[in-house]
């Protein structure tokens, strides 16, 4: 930072930078203890079948409330876990909790319930994770696991990653591309990887009033279906969006319209309840601009 200020300035102590660094170290220390004491829990958000209104599965989302620092979002602590290497242990805890939760959800729903689990890059090539995934799958075929990966992780599609993903698939799980469409916008990897599901990023869902965004989603859906992948729309917050993504051919939807991510007990009540009514009263067409 001192350099970029140019001639005539000198590097000096910067209170803001310093405190950022302290924040980071404090966060990492707190995280180490939280992982040690297994204080990070998972919440469950339903994924709804747009033909039937039935809950097809849930996504497990990590949650952390620290006694003094308060609620800390996964967008902060997952990167910290990746920096410190804590992600292996944490990822394992999350997988176990998610799977155990999935058993409860499937039991309450009275049918198989898919369970989406987000993976960090470091976890993909972790052989002990693959082993555990196989064990869980043998233990419980009623809880099909869907491992969610982001595009960035797959961009290089280097051999170890492809081999690891193929190994995971052979362990009986499905693979999803999360946040599809943002960031890299490369589809070249899709046909090389054993992927089953595309999750269209919420950014596109938020822009469906724009005809070009609708065209883009329609194109992604056509491509996905031609490749035998199913499509989940993320970030569906209202009925116009739900109607729009359904009309554009998305198979499933996830978002605050149906439910926020919930603690297990509340998610289980939702799983036990009937299907969502996908044709509620009123005209819900998007105001076409
Ligand atoms: P993601 O996997 O794409 O998860 C979806 C995020 O969108 C979640 O945020 C969810 O709460 C939020 N969301 C769901 N419905 C709506 C909606 O209708 N509107 C809006 N605006 N947002 C919605 P969350 O829980 O804060 O997680 C953020 C990201 O952190 C996740 O994005 C995922 O990349 C990462 N993450 C969460 N849990 C884990 C985990 O266990 N392991 C790893 N590696 N990453 C995780
Ligand atoms: Mg996800
Ligand atoms: Mg996502
Ligand atoms: Mg995300």
Position in ligand 1 atom list of the atom nearest CA 75? 30
d(CA 235, CA 253): 8
ipTM of the complex: 0.98
Q: pLDDT tens for residues 225-269?
A: 999 999 999 999 999 999 999 999 999 999 999 999 999 999 999
> Which pLDDT score is estimated for 5?
45
Q: Is the CB of 71 under 6 A from ligand 1?
A: no
d(CA 155, CA 75): 21
- Token pair recorded at residue 265: 């007990």
Q: Name which residue sits closest to atom 7 of ligand 1, judged by CA.
A: 235
- Token pair recorded at residue 22: 């302290």
Q: Is the CB of 73 under 6 A from ligand 1?
A: yes
Q: Is the CB of 205 under 6 A from ligand 1?
A: no
- Position 103 pLDDT exceeds 80: yes
pTM, full prediction: 0.91
d(CA 199, CA 195): 11
CB 213 within 8 A of CB 207: yes
């Amino acid at each position: 930072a001192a350099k970029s200020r140019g001639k005539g300035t000198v590097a000096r102590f910067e209170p803001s930078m310093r405190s950022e660094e302290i924040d980071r170290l404090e966060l990492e220390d707190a995280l180490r203890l939280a992982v040690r004491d297994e204080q990070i829990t998972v919440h469950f958000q339903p994924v709804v079948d747009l033909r039937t209104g039935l809950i097809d599965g849930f996504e497990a989302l990590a949650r952390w409330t620290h006694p003094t620092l308060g609620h800390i979002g996964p967008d902060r602590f997952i990167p910290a876990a990746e920096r410190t290497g804590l992600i292996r242990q944490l990822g394992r805890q999350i997988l176990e909790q998610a799977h155990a939760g999935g058993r409860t959800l499937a039991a309450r729903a009275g049918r198989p319930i898919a369970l989406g689990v987000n993976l960090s890059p470091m976890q993909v090539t972790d052989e002990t994770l693959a082993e555990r995934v196989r064990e869980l799958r043998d233990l419980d075929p009623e809880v099909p696991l869907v491992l969610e990966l982001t595009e960035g992780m797959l961009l290089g599609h280097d051999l170890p990653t492809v081999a690891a993903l193929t190994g995971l698939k052979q362990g009986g799980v499905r693979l999803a591309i999360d946040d599809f469409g943002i960031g890299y916008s490369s589809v070249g990897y899709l046909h090389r990887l054993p992927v089953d599901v595309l999750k269209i990023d919420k950014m596109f869902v938020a822009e469906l009033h724009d005809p070009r965004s609708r065209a883009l989603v329609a194109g992604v859906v056509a491509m996905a279906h031609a490749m035998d992948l199913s499509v989940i729309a993320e970030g569906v917050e209202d009925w116009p969006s739900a109607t729009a993504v359904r009309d554009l051919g998305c198979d499933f939807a996830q978002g605050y319209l149906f439910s926020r991510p919930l603690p297990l007990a509340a998610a289980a009540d939702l799983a036990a309840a009937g299907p969502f009514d996908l044709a509620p009263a009123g005209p819900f067409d998007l105001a076409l601009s």
